[in-house]
Structure 1
């Protein structure tokens, strides 16, 4: 493998600056098949998961750090590019007034259902028409916390590779498998193998505590404002209900997935197999 390259950018009008900045826009991310990540912690998480940025952008005058040195060395060894630039240009690239001292560009992952191995974990999270990138990132973070296999995004969801979703995931975008599919394709894939589809619902539901969960369990949540379509709920193997003791009639989608995930985890640990 050829060694990586290093260069310095000093001008705001440099084509590379424009190209990197464009990755904040979904259209350009999809066209290029790449996404932007900011911050040493997220980049270190990626490195520890075996994923290195193709391009590493570092601010001149940054404070030295051994993790950044290790990251830089690995990127160069893997044939990547290291760019040094001023903090003002880095702010233009990331869209933040006070950017962190480092950002990276990664190739998007394979998000096909066929890339998933349902046997790697007893728990999977599934979101339908989830629109808030913060909720999406939080679900990735929850999945990492409970040891889920990944997050499957159904129909038109927020972009998992947006800067907001990546940041909200706290690095879990690199630890969790991500798949994107239409509902009919997901159901066809799910029914080709083992898998229990579970959703929070008021229709023919049982209490979520102590419900008969089975691995691999796919926990399905719906759109933040509309919830799940009735036909999607009807396709579930198990519908559960969570008590609402106050005036609220529902939980935030990401919160609901976390509550259910931990209950499923506890159940499967108590009754393995």
Structure 2
């Protein structure tokens, strides 16, 4: 029998609003909020532990909860007002979950191949760009997505939403640029930095060996450490009037060239 909460003044509901809105609260509790059936299913598949499931029965029936009933999670029915208070998206499905965060450290990464393909983004700030990069990594079935010098936490609801749950489908890690470079070198992974200086056109390079594709922001590009430590700096030749493109578009071009060379293995 599920518990029921109907009051907006309920302390637990107030705490969940803070969890949704405040990175500090997510770090303090080691938990975060997930909205949507697909996102919850992907989180479970990705090995995330759900503490609580909240549902609004007019949108998400008790029968639909069957897929989640084998979990050791508390189940709470909520009123329309409570659900609307917690829901982040305009079009919504009537179900939310509270999940435990992962550490997302470099040491947690496990490569199941001797020839990994890794996508790295340095200091991306916009949740929409991070979400798009996660979708790109998932689409290419990259072995890992790594954020260097992160500016926001991975469990920001905007990242979960814009990644359509791909934050859960990828192996994800974060660290400083220096830590990541040391990690890649220790694993003998070639570093291809998308940077203008001392660069060659991307399609001239061999990405069939262990490879890390590194991209920076449109505003500042990649830092000096990537330039001097890369196996080769690479560029996408621009043929129009502008000299840059969206970071997730650039990442997609580069990582799918690597996939093409690997015959989409």
The two structures have a TM-score, normalised by structure 1, of 0.89
Deviations 1:50-85 (A, max 9, x none): 44521111013225386x32333123xx2x111110
User: Equivalents in 2 of 1:176, 1:240: separation in Å?
Assistant: 25
Correspondence for 1:220 among 214, 217, 237: 214
> Is residue 12 from structure 1 mapped to residue 8 from structure 2 by the alignment?
yes
Structure 2 stretches lacking a partner, 5+ long: none
Which residue of structure 1 lines up, in the alignment, with residue 101 of structure 2? 108
Which residue in the other structure is 1:186 paired with? 180
CA distance in 1 between partners of 2:187 and 2:139 (Å): 25
Match of 1:263 among 229, 250, 257: 257
Distance 1:233 1:87, change over 3 A: farther
What SS does structure 2 have at the residue aligned with 1:209?
Answer: helix
- SS of structure 1 residue aligned to 2:258: helix
Aligned to 1:23: 19
Q: Is the 8 A contact 1:141 1:169 kept in 2?
A: yes
Q: Which of 19, 44, 61 does residue 64 from structure 1 map onto?
A: 61
For residue 132 of structure 1, the aligned residue among 126, 129, 142 is: 126
State how 1:12-91 maps to structure 2 within 5 Å.
12-24=8-20, 25-64=22-61, 68-75=64-71, 78=72, 80-91=73-84
Unaligned stretches of 5+ in structure 1?
Answer: none
Secondary structure at the counterpart of residue 221 of structure 2: coil
1:243: Cα distance to partner? 1.6
RMSD across aligned C-alpha pairs, in angstroms? 2.0
Q: Could you tell me which residue of structure 2 aligns to residue 149 of structure 1?
A: 143
- Cα distance 1:220–1:65, how it changes in 2: closer, same or farther (>3 A)? farther
Alpha carbons 1:153, 1:179 under 8 Å: kept? yes
Partner Cα separation in structure 2 for residue 114 and residue 220 of structure 1: 19
In 2, Cα distance between equivalents of 1:65 and 1:198: 50
How far has the Cα of 1:96 moved from its partner?
4.4
TM-score (normalised: structure 2): 0.91
Following TM superposition, by how much is the alpha carbon of 1:131 offset from its aligned partner in structure 2, in angstroms? 0.3
**Residue of structure 1 in register with 2:227 after alignment:** 233
The number of aligned residues is: 263
> Cα deviation per residue 1:223-242 (whole Å; 9 max; x = unaligned)?
23111123322211121111
The one of 225, 249, 270 equivalent to 2:243 is 249
| Alpha-carbon spacing, 1:65–1:89, altered in 2? closer, same or farther (3 Å) | closer
